[in-house]
Amino acid sequence: MKIIDKMNASIKEGKPFFSFEFFPPRTEEGVENLFDRQDRMASYGPTFCDITWGAGGSTADLTLDIAAKMQNMVCVETMMHLTCTNMPEEKLRDALDKLKGYGIQNVLALRGDPPKGQESFTVVEGGFACALDLVKYIRAHYGDTFGICVAGYPEAHPDVIVDDPERMKENYWKDVHYLKEKIDAGADLVITQLFYDVERYFQFVKDCRSVGITAPIIPGVMPIMTYGGFKRMTGFCKTSVPPRIAADLEAIKDNEEAVKAYGIELGTKTCRALLDAGVPGLHLYTLNLEASALAILENLGLVNKAQRPRPLPWRKAPSHKRLAEEVRPIHWSNRPKAYLTRTADWDSFPAGRWGNARSPAYGTLSDYQFMRRHSGSEKRREKARAAWGASLNSVADVVNVFVKYTSGEINVLPWSEMDSLQHETGKIQERLVALNRSDLLTINSQPAVNGAPSSDPHVGWGAGNGYVYQKAYVEFFCSPASFRALEARLACVPSITYMAVNAAGQSATNVPAGAVNAVTWGVFPAREVIQPTVVDPQSFLVWKDEAFALWTEEWGSLYAPGSRSRAVIEDIAGSWYLVSVVDNDYVRGDLFSVLEAPAAAAAPSANGNGASANGSHAIAEPERLAA
Amino acid sequence: MKIIDKMNASIKEGKPFFSFEFFPPRTEEGVENLFDRQDRMASYGPTFCDITWGAGGSTADLTLDIAAKMQNMVCVETMMHLTCTNMPEEKLRDALDKLKGYGIQNVLALRGDPPKGQESFTVVEGGFACALDLVKYIRAHYGDTFGICVAGYPEAHPDVIVDDPERMKENYWKDVHYLKEKIDAGADLVITQLFYDVERYFQFVKDCRSVGITAPIIPGVMPIMTYGGFKRMTGFCKTSVPPRIAADLEAIKDNEEAVKAYGIELGTKTCRALLDAGVPGLHLYTLNLEASALAILENLGLVNKAQRPRPLPWRKAPSHKRLAEEVRPIHWSNRPKAYLTRTADWDSFPAGRWGNARSPAYGTLSDYQFMRRHSGSEKRREKARAAWGASLNSVADVVNVFVKYTSGEINVLPWSEMDSLQHETGKIQERLVALNRSDLLTINSQPAVNGAPSSDPHVGWGAGNGYVYQKAYVEFFCSPASFRALEARLACVPSITYMAVNAAGQSATNVPAGAVNAVTWGVFPAREVIQPTVVDPQSFLVWKDEAFALWTEEWGSLYAPGSRSRAVIEDIAGSWYLVSVVDNDYVRGDLFSVLEAPAAAAAPSANGNGASANGSHAIAEPERLAA
């Protein structure tokens, strides 16, 4: 969706919007960290996020790649910066074609800074002289495909900032008129350069309006985070700093914490002044850090860490192709990026019910990105080993890792793309710890919810004045012996449906073939019932290959071939069952008590006596899952 | 679906099935009454119902027409009898083609009795000699299209019943072998002629098995209802009557009630013996009467009047075309046949959600059948006038009719195809009476239900161990003045959504354009949420034409043109609003209190002072429903 359309919707609603700007990190690890941060920041509901284009196009491919992932994996509406600097036409065309292919609909058109080492901007052969050319080019060759944003300079472009007041005034107005030209050429939105003098911004908007610019002019706000950074940035951008701010900072420049706190306080004050004056929204230059930006937005009441917007239980991709998507299998709920990747080639996505539009042709995962999240680089392997053990002696050591993960002592596990248990797990954390202690190694779960308000901070989602529901769900690995004992218990509880399968595909289930089970749904005013999460037997069989592969790819691969540690992992992966259990009675059921029953008996294995739980009995007369 | 498949499913489930046989009544009124009776009897969940083919094909067209309506309007799996008597090939072909077109998949192939006045059976030119020929013909020309049932004669066919025991034995075995030939030719099921000697039936089954007949042989049971009828039938069919039964009846033959009670007692005993011996189901010859057949089934525990099977809140049509249908607008819930007719030409039907597969191209209704249910014949007009008043003086008289209807004093209203308020209305009957007293003339409603067990005798439906929900709904006519007052009150309750429209199409609503509201849904084990009833703004606009037309077509037309009575009706139809109100808060909402609020003020009109409620104010700034 075009940002201008989203903004206009916010303006109509009378709700100030906000957005975050990021830049491409220099290292691979930095990029990974950026995605994690964007993941978290996206959960607060920014109208969009943008990613800058390295000076001189130096990071073009990286920027394109990051933009694609922001749009399609982080699932936030994304705007990519595009500069003319050192860009011949075919390179621009290539970048725009790619954006279109990625489903990105927003571009910030810039002239750009000269590449590092070059003093001033030069026009390359076949290239463009200025942002105006770029805007014209995009409109001429891509029509209405992209929303185009352009930069506004409340103090004029740094290149034309001079000391002579007369010439300065002339340059400033040239800049304002130039902005008008960019808008007339087809840009639909202005974001300003950072400023610390709020009055300057107001004057700039007034001046822009005076020459006929009617497009929204969104203030760009950069929270002061460090003294050094502030000095560098204001120097580079030739930003005027009100004497009061300069003096305040000078007094605390050696106290990092004080500078940061001052930055938050100043940012809050600035933004409040802007909002009070009626700006429709705020653009935050984050410098790839989240704390200050979020603190300011929280002070302003624009975000609430305890109550983030959740239109659906999972984050919807903003791409046109997936707009109709409303249902996903629960199995990937801790690995949404893997799911997005495996379904990227689908032509249509299930809306309404999973069973109506099932396209179970899941694609495969490229190893590196998703199967080696925690083991893809030596640095990450170290981190993983620290969490999961430098070596493993027995199943009990593995059990212990799961207990630590569910207890919150460690925050990574192969079956989660996120670095922590999900928010709502808190409600059932103790029960999960108990299950893991009794050798049921949980990788996915949700508590039963019987009609909580849709505004509930823990389990709520969707529009206001609705009610949300969940069936209790637990997915875990367990040994064949454990499963046999468990199956007998599950059979006594008519409200429970389960599916179990091992790596070889042997399975047992009491679910009718093809029966799709909605385990999360919501009822809202003047709507049909929304049921965004299902347990789907067919998808479960696809997921189980991924789930078993993660044992060896992510975890086993940390240890030397032939080592005891690796054997422990491989033995589990080769013989244990992956079990998916739903308690269909979300009103009176008590799934955890059913699963926990034998905790006392099985507990010793967690203390070192796990051998018996690691047998490989066949399941007697299994029903076929794939029937 | 073929009956043999439905039976096999019942056998697999270990649940005895039952079915009802009817014959074509002689009068038009009789036919209408038959449909009403079938409607009620179908609600108990018979596996199928069948309709006989008049002797000598005398009622061929009528039988075809009744069969079509049974299958597609009464919505019960239907089997039509087809006899060879007096039937040239083209007539048979025509009948079978029509059946196919109606979506009927089951035929009972018979030779048939000679037409009235003819003593014995004659083969017509180009016709068939016997049921065997008919079975062969159907299989040869229609392949697997139809399930074919044939008749079995536990005492041999009446035509071959003779006194000489030797010849009788020979004839009997000829008959058994002949039945084997019918099965070999492609029949998949046997239903027996009526009998009163249960041992005879068991011997017959044994004899059939001995010659290699493996098809199910369903006992045909005819409850004794009157002494005369019993004598006629057993004489005509040459049915042997055990001396004990003959003696019992002889003793009570002049006491109608006693005969009926005896018939139920005997029928129950007979059926219990059959079921105890392991018959998979019972076929009941009803003679178009319901009491005895239902009493027997109730005694056997096969039906429970208080808890009829409700797979969905509305009865699903058994035709292949509508099998996927899962959602309907609430507006036609008291006029399901009108809905079935108006949607008969749809290529696909909404499953899952209404909004996903909407095909709002509703067909028109043929006047006679649906718009003149209560006014189509002088007899019915009399009945309607008796219920609604021989003349009307004012709106108050009309209000009084609605009060009487909701109170249960009268049982017909133009907006219902059924002759009584629906079952679950009981829960809100008093509230409805109060609304009608205050000039809100209700034609459709349901109470809020917050997670009742799916087995609830009043509001339950669907599979076991589920929970069902409803949003409170009321649909009514009211004067423009009433609506204006009401709208102000509705606006104060954020959980309420409403739509109002008058005959001219002026409308007011607070529902977002195109917002479909699921007002009935159910959550079941291992299923996605089922939401069978919705409020759909587009369908409401179609329904309103029907709803307003019913005022004049059904009610106004009872009175002479130019009469005061007709003017009262026409004035309401021309100026009042049809209002549809949903309380979306099914947990805490109290729709009736909101609607009832001004009852005290408006009450006088129900006592004769209705003029003020009958003004025709325009609604201020109406939002357009069709936007």
A507-559 per-position pLDDT tens digit = 999 998 889 999 999 999 999 999 999 999 999 999 999 999 999 999 999 99
Interface membership of A348 toward B (CB under 8 Å): no
What is the structure's pLDDT at B301?
95
Interface membership of A587 toward B (CB under 8 Å): yes
Task: Inform me whether the pLDDT recorded for B505 exceeds 70.
Answer: yes
What is the structure's pLDDT at B364?
80
Residue in A353, A450, A455, A586 to test binding to B, most B beta-carbons within 10 Å: A353
Q: What is the mean pLDDT of residues A198-227?
A: 96
B51 sits in the region (left: phi over 0; alpha: psi -120 to 50; else beta) called beta
Question: Which among A353, A497, A523 has CB closest to B525?
Answer: A497
Model confidence band, residue A10 (pLDDT cutoffs 50, 70, 90): very high
Contact B526 A518 (CB under 8 A): no
Q: What is the mean pLDDT of residues B392-396?
A: 96
Task: Inform me whether the pLDDT recorded for A616 exceeds 70.
Answer: no
Contact B518 A497 (CB under 8 A): no
User: pLDDT tens for residues B5-51?
Assistant: 999 999 998 999 999 999 999 888 888 889 989 999 999 999 999 99
Beta strand pairing status for B147-152 and B106-110?
Answer: parallel
What is the structure's pLDDT at B33?
87
What is the structure's pLDDT at A118?
62
At residue A136, what is the residue type? K
Question: Which among B467, B529, B587 has CB closest to A587?
Answer: B467
User: pLDDT tens for residues B460-503?
Assistant: 999 999 999 999 999 999 999 999 999 999 988 999 999 999 99
Model confidence band, residue B149 (pLDDT cutoffs 50, 70, 90): very high
Model confidence band, residue A620 (pLDDT cutoffs 50, 70, 90): very low
ipTM above 0.95, yes or no: no
Contact B584 A353 (CB under 8 A): no
pTM confidence score: 0.87
Contacting residues for A24 by C-beta, under 8 A, at least 6 apart: A31, A51, A52, A54, A59, A62, A63, A66
Count the Cβ atoms, other than its own, within 10 Å of residue B12: 8
User: pLDDT tens for residues B403-432?
Assistant: 999 998 998 999 998 776 565 567 789 999
What is the structure's pLDDT at A379?
85
User: pLDDT tens for residues A323-345?
Assistant: 889 999 999 999 999 999 999 88
Interface membership of A62 toward B (CB under 8 Å): no
Q: What is the mean pLDDT of residues A190-217?
A: 96
Task: Inform me whether the pLDDT recorded for A617 exceeds 70.
Answer: no
Contact A517 B523 (CB under 8 A): no
What is the structure's pLDDT at A366?
65
Task: Inform me whether the pLDDT recorded for A615 exceeds 90.
Answer: no
**Is the Cβ–Cβ distance between A38 and A49 less than 8 Å?**
yes
**Alpha carbon B509 to chain centroid distance?**
34
What is the structure's pLDDT at B623?
42
Q: What is the mean pLDDT of residues A429-454?
A: 94
Interface membership of B514 toward A (CB under 8 Å): no
The percent of residues in chain A predicted with pLDDT above 90, rounded, is 70
Task: Inform me whether the pLDDT recorded for A424 exceeds 70.
Answer: no
Task: Inform me whether the pLDDT recorded for B614 exceeds 60.
Answer: no
Any idea which of A409-423, B330-344, B373-387, B547-561 has the lowest mean pLDDT?
A: A409-423
**Is the Cβ–Cβ distance between B474 and B595 less than 8 Å?**
yes
Task: Inform me whether the pLDDT recorded for A120 exceeds 90.
Answer: no
Structure tokens given for A303 = 């975000």
Q: What is the mean pLDDT of residues A153-160?
A: 88
What is the structure's pLDDT at A363?
85
Query: Which positions in chain A touch B451 (Cβ < 8 Å)?
Result: 450-451, 587
Interface membership of B311 toward A (CB under 8 Å): no
Instruction: Give phi and psi for B499, each to the nearest 5.
Output: -135, 135
User: pLDDT tens for residues A491-507?
Assistant: 889 999 999 999 999 99
Q: Chains A, B: CB contacts under 8 A, how many?
A: 93
Task: Inform me whether the pLDDT recorded for B603 exceeds 50.
Answer: no
Between vectors from CA B317 to CA B315 and to CA B319, what angle results, nearest 5°?
A: 165
Contact A515 B527 (CB under 8 A): yes
What is the structure's pLDDT at B458?
87
Beta strand pairing status for B78-83 and A517-523?
Answer: unpaired
Task: Inform me whether the pLDDT recorded for A48 exceeds 90.
Answer: yes
Interface membership of A498 toward B (CB under 8 Å): no
Average predicted confidence (pLDDT) for chain B = 88
Task: Inform me whether the pLDDT recorded for A259 exceeds 90.
Answer: yes
Residue B321 C-alpha, separation from nearest chain A C-alpha, in angstroms: 17
Domains of chain A: 3-299 (3.20.20.220), 370-595 (no CATH)
Contact B515 A531 (CB under 8 A): no
What is the structure's pLDDT at B606?
39
Catalytic, B21? Answer yes
Model confidence band, residue A320 (pLDDT cutoffs 50, 70, 90): confident
Q: How far is CA B51 from CA A172, B69, B79, in A?
A: 92, 11, 7
Between vectors from CA B497 to CA B493 and to CA B503, what angle results, nearest 5°?
A: 125
Contact B523 A518 (CB under 8 A): yes
What is the structure's pLDDT at B476?
98
Task: Inform me whether the pLDDT recorded for B365 exceeds 80.
Answer: no
The percent of residues in chain B predicted with pLDDT above 90, rounded, is 70
Q: How far apart are CA B579 and CA B540, in angstroms?
A: 10
Alpha carbons within 13 A on the beta-carbon side of B554: 23
Q: How far is CA A447 from CA A422, A471, A594, B281, B526, in A?
A: 12, 7, 14, 44, 17
Model confidence band, residue A85 (pLDDT cutoffs 50, 70, 90): confident
Task: Inform me whether the pLDDT recorded for A612 exceeds 50.
Answer: no
Per DSSP, which regions of A48-160 are E strands? 48-51, 78-83, 106-110, 147-152
Average predicted confidence (pLDDT) for chain A = 88
**Is the Cβ–Cβ distance between A25 and A34 less than 8 Å?**
yes
Task: Inform me whether the pLDDT recorded for A251 exceeds 50.
Answer: yes
Between vectors from CA A371 to CA A367 and to CA A377, what angle results, nearest 5°?
A: 85
Question: Which among A351, A354, A526 has CB closest to B511?
Answer: A526
Residue in A528, A534, A591 to test binding to B, most B beta-carbons within 10 Å: A528
Q: What is the mean pLDDT of residues B101-124?
A: 77
Secondary element (H or E) of residue A434: helix A429-437
**Is the Cβ–Cβ distance between B567 and B549 less than 8 Å?**
no
Q: What is the mean pLDDT of residues B57-64?
A: 82
Model confidence band, residue B618 (pLDDT cutoffs 50, 70, 90): very low
**Alpha carbon A245 to chain centroid distance?**
35
What is the structure's pLDDT at B602?
43
What is the structure's pLDDT at A417?
86
Contacting residues for B146 by C-beta, under 8 A, at least 6 apart: B2, B96, B99, B100, B105, B106, B107, B138
Interface membership of B30 toward A (CB under 8 Å): no
Question: DSSP code of A615?
Answer: -
Task: Inform me whether the pLDDT recorded for A153 exceeds 90.
Answer: yes
Model confidence band, residue B308 (pLDDT cutoffs 50, 70, 90): confident
Q: What is the mean pLDDT of residues B448-469?
A: 94
Contact A526 B512 (CB under 8 A): yes
Count the Cβ atoms, other than its own, within 10 Å of residue B493: 18
The percent of residues in chain A predicted with pLDDT above 70, rounded, is 89
Query: Which positions in chain B touch A526 (Cβ < 8 Å)?
Result: 497, 511-512, 515, 517, 582, 584
What is the structure's pLDDT at B98?
95
What is the structure's pLDDT at A75?
93
Task: Inform me whether the pLDDT recorded for B1 exceeds 90.
Answer: yes
DSSP code per residue over B161-189:
--S-HHHHHHHHHHHHHHHHHHHHTT--E
What is the structure's pLDDT at A614?
35
Q: What is the mean pLDDT of residues A60-87?
A: 90
